[in-house]
Structure 1
Amino acid sequence: MLKSATDLRQYAHITLPNGMGVLVVEDLKSQKSACSATLHVGHFDDHDDCHGLSHLLEHLLFLGNASYQQANALSNFVAQHGGSINASTATEYTSYFFDVLSEQLDEALAQFAAMLSSPLLAEAYIAKEIQAIDAEYLLKQKDDLRRLYQVHKETCNPKHPFSKFSVGNNQTFGAFTPSQLKDKLHSFHQRFYQPANLRLCVVSQLPLAKTKNLIEKHFKHWQNTTPLENPEYPPLYLEHHLGLQINIEPLQHAQRLIITFALPSQHDFYRTKPLAFLSHILGDEGQGCLLDYYKSQNWATSLSAGGGIDGANFKDFNINLQLTQQGLTKVDNIVRTLFSYLQLISTEGLESWRLEELRVLNNLMWNYSEPLKPIDEALKLSHAMFDYPSEHYLAGDYLLDQPSVTLIEQMLALFKPQNMRLKLIHKALQTDKVARWYDTPYKTIALSSGRLADYANPPAITQLKLPQANRYLPDCSLVKNLQEEFKLPKRLVNEQGLELWFGQDHKFLQAKGDCFITFDCATSANGITTATHKRLWVALINEKLKQKYYQANLAGMHFHLYPHQGGFSLQTNGFSARQLEFCTQLLTQIVLSEDFAGSFEQIKANQLQALGNSLLNKPINRLFSLLAVLMQQYNYAPIDMAEIMFETQLSDILTTKDQLFASFYMEGMMFGNWGIEDTHEVLLKVKQFRREHQVNPPVKKGLADLRHVPSQIHHVDSQHPDDAVVCYFQAPSASIQDTALTILLEQLLATPFFNQMRTERQLGYLVGSGYLPYNQHPGIALYIQSPHQSAQQLLVAIHGFINEFRAQLLTYQEIWPSLKSSVMRQLSENDTHLSMQSQRLWMAIGNKDFNFEHQAKMTKVLEQLTFADIINFCEKWIKREQFGELILISSKNPKWQDSPSQQVIGSISEFKKTSNYLH
């Protein structure tokens, strides 16, 4: 099996006697074991009279089987042992995946095998899960991506299974009784859920032989029932589905053009990757590229190339453009320019050095990519086992060892107007149809012979240029002088207003590193106007830097500039060879850049669109967004920022920029593949820069104190028909003990809350809990979003659960030791890659944990906690003793009656003015 240069894991690929393909990965760095099972079955296989059947079966597999009849038995088991479980149904594949502490892998695999092979399909749960799927469907009715997807389905060949309604709902299932559905589900399961149709991947630190034995023990008895068939699908598009413009009216404000070319399946070309080459050139963002030209004409602000649906006999290649207002009127010019650029690629862009450069870039990504979490790795590999031969399971996504100009030319020949679909997405377009299920207005317009001829004969555009050779390809050598004193970051500079830390990577030994620089600016405490101007300034800077350093990003050297409550931060990461120089160049650009006139209106319009569209987010997302606004002193509501953004002028941005740099506190860290001598020049430049500006102490980022006021409630406007509730509870203190107890309490209540609210009572599809700290102060959130129940009913249900939880908690005494142990293990999990380690160390510095011992202290406290401690803590929570409560409501019912015991938050700005803040 072909492995990357830095991959130290061991692999074994076997096929069980029943035909099930198995890949076992021995990863000594993993503290959990992860498993994914992928089956070659999806919504393409749904019965023609019962769309959504595969999705319904996916839900029901969790709800009891012949060996473990209790609903959610495996979900509960992995949750109690440090893990999680999920599933997804796609077009042609369905996956189930979980992780768990490795000592519990044996039992987890036993339950997993039973779940996959012998589901009960109980009629009572069939009826309940139909309600859950209907809630999921209703939730997505306001999702523009899903609404566009349905238009896509209605404008392709109706005989192709892509056209099927994949989710299902009350209508599709309501034509059958639960008994009839059980028969359908059983037949579907018998036909497709067979070991020969399944690929299993397990990632664990257990020895390969032990893991293989566990898999064989639990899966060898599962037998195939019927011969498997390889379906043959008709074409995705017929002739009249191409050479087409489709006008689509979205819910959110959008100005998009998606240019799609219909291509054959690319699965056989994985070693050649012709579309990766075309994406590489078409998606370039450097000077003279396609996007640069569109920006210069004020037609588009962003471009991505290469996405699109794919399957057994089709592949869409999308060029996705965010248009300006002017661009909406210049669609023909935009498309004509694209064909001019395609002609340039065809005549001048197929040089061998370009293919070689892409091969080198692919190798860099392959050999030095950051490892995934075990559960994500298992999921990815269980899919790869269907896509590639066993020797290329790991390398298939990156392999480019058979480059072919001929194949690229064959693909380019299909990039022609007659083989194209134009999707124009905007609210003001003419439409004459409404897509089923999601009520999306749209209109199809056949491209006239004149437009097709115009596109096919574009003029040459001299401003268009092909990308230059990438000058950022890295040197991947490692430093030789690792020093023990820098195994953890050490403070090298501690001057007034400046702290700089340095550490070396002793663990992963990759030619990479991470740099962090944060600015706490005195002016950040000035309020929402400054915060809004700062947001726009950062967006303008990002736009300039993104183009200037696009090739650096391609070559694995990345930057991230973002605003935060106290000011703004710059982070760079990736290959270390030129990164320190790169970071100082970026810093200089950030300080000196003031030439924003050419991009100001475009970027301002983008920011206004993003802020305005936040109103159309699903209710639960809006509630959590506004919870952060209410809790954090210098965090502001998008709608309020939009009002200020609308009036903002370029002069305001330049004034704010000067104010940000007028007085600030600066902190930074370099951690990775550098020697101490590599830092000297950076330290000198940063110290010199620091001394040229005034100093202020770090901005104190306040946290609203909820603990000594009545329960507070805030109503949030929503344009979504679902009701939603978030109940947030602020813990008594930020001490390590209260933090540990809050984490444990959330872990204990998570499973019963989900089971009761979602599985048994079917109050909604989006149901859950979470540990939610703000500014390092612990808290717990419980949430439900429902299309069927009112917010008043949801809040009553949440409070009812809390009041009854004390009695439930006593039943958990038996699993208390294992759950506590699981939390301790999760807190002490190994970093899986260098950037994860760097982020953890940087957060510790931000939290003033200069000895990097917070995890050790937390583990010690957890060891000492008793079940009596959690009982006492829970009782305080139930009685709201020293706990604060903040309730956020999104309701379509104007007659909501607040409880007299709840204090209503009307104005967010007034709440911020009158709140006491913890610092």
Structure 2
Amino acid sequence: MLLIKQATKSFLVVRSSLRFKSFSRCLSSMASKHVKATIHHDKIIKSPQDKRQYRGLELNNGLKVMMISDPDTDKSAAAMDINIGSMSDPWELPGLAHFCEHMLFLGTKKYEQENEYNKFLNENGGSSNAYTSGEHTNFYFDVAPDNLAGALDRFAQFFLGPLFTPSATEREINAVNSENDKNLQSDPWRLHQLDRSLAKPDHDYIKFGTGNKDSLDTIPKSKGLDVREELLKFHSKYYSSNIMALSILGKESLDELSDLVAPLLADVINKNTSVPEWKEHPYGPEQCKTICYAVPVKDVRNLSMSWSIPDLHPYYASNPGHYLGHLVGHEGPGSLLSELKAKGWVNTLCGGQSSGAKGFMFFKVDVDLTEEGIEHLDDIVTLTYQYVNLLRKAGPQEWIFKECQDLSAMTFRFKDKEKPRNYVSGLSGSLHDFPMTETLSGPYLLTEFRPDLINMILEKITPDNMRIGVIGKKFQDRVNQKEKWYGTEYQVEEIPDVKLKYWGSCSLNDKLALPVRNEFIPTVFDLTPREVDPSPLPEMVKDSALTRLWFKQDDTFLLPKACINFEISSPMAYSDPTNCNMTNLFVTLFKDALNEYAYDAELAGLHYDLNCTIYGMSLAVGGYNEKQDVLLRKIMEKLTSFKVDPKRFAIFKEMYARSMRNFQAEQPHRHAIYYTNILMSEVKWTNEELMQALEDITVEKLQAFIPDLLSKLYLEGLIYGNFTKQKALEVTTMIEDILQKQSGTRSLLPSQKKHFRELQLPDGCYYVCEENNQVHKSSSIEIYYQCGVQLTDTNMLLELFIQIIGEPCFDILRTKEQLGYIVFSGIRRTSGVQGMRIIVQSDRKPQYVENRVEAFLQSMDAYINDMTEESFQKHVTALAAKRLEKPKKISGQQSRYWGEIVSQQFNFDRDDIEVAYLRGIKKSDVYNFYKEHICVGAPRRHKLSVHVMSTAEGNGSPDSQDSDSTPDSLASTPELPPPIIVRDIADFKRDMALFPLPKPYIDLQKARSKL
């Protein structure tokens, strides 16, 4: 697998806007009075399939702008990328760039109210987010198209006049600290910072980018530093127009977008700030030729090899790092991964170039390790160098480059649309990295074959330029140091010269080979013949005792792509914990065995997945449609003739057990969600039950189970995309034939086609389930207010209620009361039943947090009652805009249709139907819903609260843990009835009734009669 860089993101929350048509006209008339763009770029290279219009601007103040006109868009969006990140933090204030990102959301000189920006977005169907990485700070939002002007005005003030008020500064430090606390026991964060901490002590790469209360408050104060003053200095110094890039997408014309942007951003000051460049690599000779042993929180085992290489970005037209990553990360026969798996040492491998910062990069090979593999570290490194030697001997192959070139060009040509806010966020960063005209094409189109650059990188992949990192619990007795910010235990040792010399002179390995030509690369991109009188929605085209098939020919995206989904149901799959385990092992081993064959298909844009469900297995195939039936046939033939490999069985059984044990180290809010699901589900096996049942499973038992599992099935499928009805039926028949001939598959009895239901909480109830988390410092709660079976009216009342309270919930509980970084309010839907959920992860006691949630909900009585009709209608319009936003990809539309089939509700036109009902809802309807289902004392209130209490060392703060009193400035907690404590989950579930399943929206009998 190619190594992909993951940006560190600081998540803020979705919020929204007002109507500002008059403001938009005002800006347009003012545009001539403001500084105009000095340079226009109209010849932006774009995909032939892309119907949007693009124009690049460079304003007089140096700010770059990419404008995208899309008259059909159902969301407008904009993003600003500042080419400065945490590597530019002052040494005495680690985390300042990230903290600055947080603070810009909390009031500006023009819009002083702290939540004005998010409130505006929330009221106008929008959302916002931001992230800080080593070199970039990126802010982005989306909004209903008519409200782009108002949203952009508020957004622009981040870069013109932030307030950084003392009170917000003090409070938001707690939010940054809570965000950091969330990551303290996360192995990816811990190991990322450990790797950085081992760089040269004076290199900016070593800095702690997130920040915490110590780095942003306690330590600076002890040195006489005023953090607010330092924030103002940082913003003044680095938020300079000449290193900013804006990307904006709207329904307006390019001229109108230009008139909108220019007056708002022309006043951003150009301080002539230079973008930092690090010509010296963070790891020099003293840091190389070392091996670092580290102890993880979870029981995971990994080996990482890293080599320092130059910054390859200037060579994007040839992308030599991609060429080598394609080969080193290949997973087909003869690959490095193939041989490592054959030895039983690893299961996965990621290899390729990895971004560092401007001026330096890395080439990395990362593998997971089996129990046997962690004893063969030197042998794994040896095999890696043997593969590198193969590449040196073979030399750069132009046919391989051409294959990579063709695949990248194909991806660009048929690139799916993205969600507007994700699209503009990525493009705003690309404006710094590529010439304006190549901002879209630069990451994809390869135009030069440069063997010299490929060889240059190969020359860097040597033992003298290597660093090794190994993580595993087995090194607990070996480590003797702790990383400063996360406390990761580690030990660094020099690699003996004898090993370095051996790796530097190791021979070739005849089991390693270059990949063969990829036969899955599609050559036919024609659209299939159009169906006569096509249905606007999926229609049932087959219904037998064995199979029900739904079909819809795509008439929206018009790409040579399709999606195939099948639910393969068997009552055996989830009948008890043993069968559940065996189904999971079967699926995992199957995917492992098919990996070499399917990897070429994945490279060629044709992918598949097979997953376990509570009803059996779910099979999905998607991508370019030309060779989907070839891949699908291979999957079914392998599935029905599968033989368990005893060696791989042992490896995956151990890995499966570890994954369940490692759940203990998941975030506390994940535990709260897990226990809520256990409590509310008719049948759901716990990790403890699964672990106990796993012990007795053998190769022989699993092999005997597979034909039994496949002997009686029911298939329900959906084929959507560039297919004809006849082709869809042929593919389905092929699946049936293989199952029947290879496995003797027969159909299930109607009574065996069971769907599980959700427990029905009684009126007026209040249950509390208390659990512990021994790993994280934070505690968590999930409060679930069950509202009943999904119906059009209750669906919309619940969604509108959530829309109305969403922004104040975040603003009050997260920003003002500082309960924790993770604050979420939303809808929980499962088994046809729905309700409101509120999740908070906090360093405070769960009961205190619950009391504050109840105080917030109590305050919503007056909030809704006093809401003006104008404000209420804004929320109706905002929710309608969210619900009517169309999927941007074939796979997105497929997911919506498939969700209706999996839920057995079949309301394929749900959005239009429910929005039509939404538009008729009155404020009094929402208020009555709140009084009936949500508020304290509501006659149909059904409340379940899960408390996950931290028992880890250092949990919480003394002030927050010991104080259950409410500050005078906050709303008082309403008097709650005493809860019923759930002491035994089985007893709790035994006494509960079950909700009925919702009735299908369409008449299935009538649909059958049309076949």
Q: TM-score, normalised by structure 2?
A: 0.88
Spell out the pairing of 1:823-902 with structure 2 (5 A cutoff): 823-850=879-906, 852-876=908-932, 877-878=934-935, 879-892=937-950, 901-902=978-979
CA displacement 1:135-163 (0-9 Å, x = unmatched): 12222111111111221122111111111
Distance 1:800 1:142 in 2: 31
SS at match of 1:843: helix
Instruction: Note if contact 1:664-1:694 (Cα within 8 Å) is conserved in structure 2.
Output: yes
1:800 and 2:858 matched: no
1:464 corresponds to which letter in structure 2? L
Spell out the pairing of 1:177-576 with structure 2 (5 A cutoff): 180-225=226-271, 227-228=273-274, 230=276, 232=278, 234-306=280-352, 308-348=354-394, 350-429=396-475, 430-483=478-531, 484-524=533-573, 526-576=575-625
CA displacement 1:548-597 (0-9 Å, x = unmatched): 21111111110010111111110000000111232233123222213332
Change in 2 beyond 3 A, CA 1:55/1:480: closer
1:748 and 2:791 matched: no
Instruction: Note if contact 2:84-2:137 (Cα within 8 Å) is conserved in structure 1.
Output: yes
- State which of 678, 681, 692 in structure 2 corresponds to 1:632: 681
SS at match of 1:613: helix
- State which of 126, 144, 169 in structure 2 corresponds to 1:101: 144
Shift of 1:175: 3.5
Change in 2 beyond 3 A, CA 1:631/1:418: same
2:748 corresponds to which letter in structure 1? V
Shift of 1:717: 2.6
1:604 and 2:653 matched: yes
Give the match for residue 108 of structure 2. 65
Distance 1:602 1:5 in 2: 47
Distance 1:28 1:580 in 2: 37
Cα RMSD (Å): 2.1
Shift of 1:73: 1.0
SS at match of 2:297: coil
Give the match for residue 30 of structure 2. none
SS at match of 1:793: helix
Range 123-132 or range 382-391, more displaced:
123-132
Shift of 1:95: 0.7
Shift of 1:900: 7.1
Instruction: Note if contact 2:160-2:268 (Cα within 8 Å) is conserved in structure 1.
Output: yes
1:618 and 2:660 matched: no
1:718 and 2:773 matched: yes
Shift of 1:684: 3.0
CA displacement 1:198-241 (0-9 Å, x = unmatched): 10001122222222211113222333246546555543112110
Instruction: Note if contact 2:764-2:941 (Cα within 8 Å) is conserved in structure 1.
Output: no
Distance 1:213 1:640 in 2: 63
Instruction: Note if contact 1:64-1:121 (Cα within 8 Å) is conserved in structure 2.
Output: yes
Give the match for residue 704 of structure 1. 759
1:832 corresponds to which letter in structure 2? K
Distance 2:942 2:497 in 1: 67
SS at match of 1:852: coil
Instruction: Note if contact 2:310-2:359 (Cα within 8 Å) is conserved in structure 1.
Output: yes
Instruction: Note if contact 2:573-2:580 (Cα within 8 Å) is conserved in structure 1.
Output: yes
Instruction: Note if contact 1:53-1:168 (Cα within 8 Å) is conserved in structure 2.
Output: yes
Shift of 1:309: 4.2
Change in 2 beyond 3 A, CA 1:653/1:911: farther
CA displacement 1:497-556 (0-9 Å, x = unmatched): 321122211111111101111122122452332222211211111111222211111111
Distance 1:127 1:568 in 2: 51
Shift of 1:339: 0.5
Spell out the pairing of 1:113-132 with structure 2 (5 A cutoff): 113-132=156-175
Instruction: Note if contact 1:624-1:726 (Cα within 8 Å) is conserved in structure 2.
Output: yes
Range 870-879 or range 822-831, more displaced:
822-831
Instruction: Note if contact 2:764-2:939 (Cα within 8 Å) is conserved in structure 1.
Output: no
Could you tell me which runs of 5 or more consecutive residues in structure 2 were left unpaired when the two chains were aligned: 1-43, 953-960, 965-974, 998-1011
Give the match for residue 85 of structure 1. 128
Distance 1:654 1:629 in 2: 30
1:751 corresponds to which letter in structure 2? E
SS at match of 2:508: coil
Instruction: Note if contact 1:32-1:374 (Cα within 8 Å) is conserved in structure 2.
Output: yes
Give the match for residue 577 of structure 1. 626
1:175 corresponds to which letter in structure 2? I
Distance 1:143 1:762 in 2: 22
Distance 1:907 1:648 in 2: 28
Shift of 1:349: 5.3
2:747 corresponds to which letter in structure 1? Q
SS at match of 2:230: helix
1:695 and 2:748 matched: yes
Distance 2:524 2:395 in 1: 28
CA displacement 1:17-67 (0-9 Å, x = unmatched): 222110011123420111100001111111121111111211111111110
- State which of 11, 16, 33 in structure 1 corresponds to 2:59: 16
SS at match of 2:177: helix
SS at match of 1:12: strand
Distance 1:907 1:596 in 2: 40
Instruction: Note if contact 2:344-2:647 (Cα within 8 Å) is conserved in structure 1.
Output: no
Distance 1:123 1:362 in 2: 50
SS at match of 2:73: coil
Range 105-114 or range 48-57, more displaced:
48-57
SS at match of 2:830: coil
Change in 2 beyond 3 A, CA 1:482/1:182: same
Distance 2:659 2:353 in 1: 22
CA displacement 1:873-905 (0-9 Å, x = unmatched): 111211343232221111136999998732222
1:150 corresponds to which letter in structure 2? Q
Distance 2:92 2:819 in 1: 28
Instruction: Note if contact 1:521-1:696 (Cα within 8 Å) is conserved in structure 2.
Output: no
Distance 2:600 2:579 in 1: 33
Could you tell me which runs of 5 or more consecutive residues in structure 1 were left unpaired when the two chains were aligned: none
Distance 2:548 2:938 in 1: 41
CA displacement 1:466-492 (0-9 Å, x = unmatched): 211101011232235201325533322
SS at match of 2:913: helix
Instruction: Note if contact 2:68-2:254 (Cα within 8 Å) is conserved in structure 1.
Output: yes
Range 307-316 or range 367-376, more displaced:
307-316
Distance 1:770 1:92 in 2: 34
Distance 2:728 2:101 in 1: 54
Shift of 1:872: 0.4
SS at match of 1:885: strand
1:906 corresponds to which letter in structure 2? R
Shift of 1:727: 0.6
Instruction: Note if contact 2:712-2:745 (Cα within 8 Å) is conserved in structure 1.
Output: no
- The total of aligned residue pairs comes to 918
Instruction: Note if contact 2:578-2:697 (Cα within 8 Å) is conserved in structure 1.
Output: no
1:32 corresponds to which letter in structure 2? K
SS at match of 2:755: coil
CA displacement 1:744-791 (0-9 Å, x = unmatched): 11111111111111111111111121122112322211111112x111
Q: TM-score, normalised by structure 1?
A: 0.96
Instruction: Note if contact 2:846-2:949 (Cα within 8 Å) is conserved in structure 1.
Output: yes
Instruction: Note if contact 2:789-2:832 (Cα within 8 Å) is conserved in structure 1.
Output: no
SS at match of 1:732: strand
Change in 2 beyond 3 A, CA 1:638/1:369: farther
Shift of 1:851: 6.5
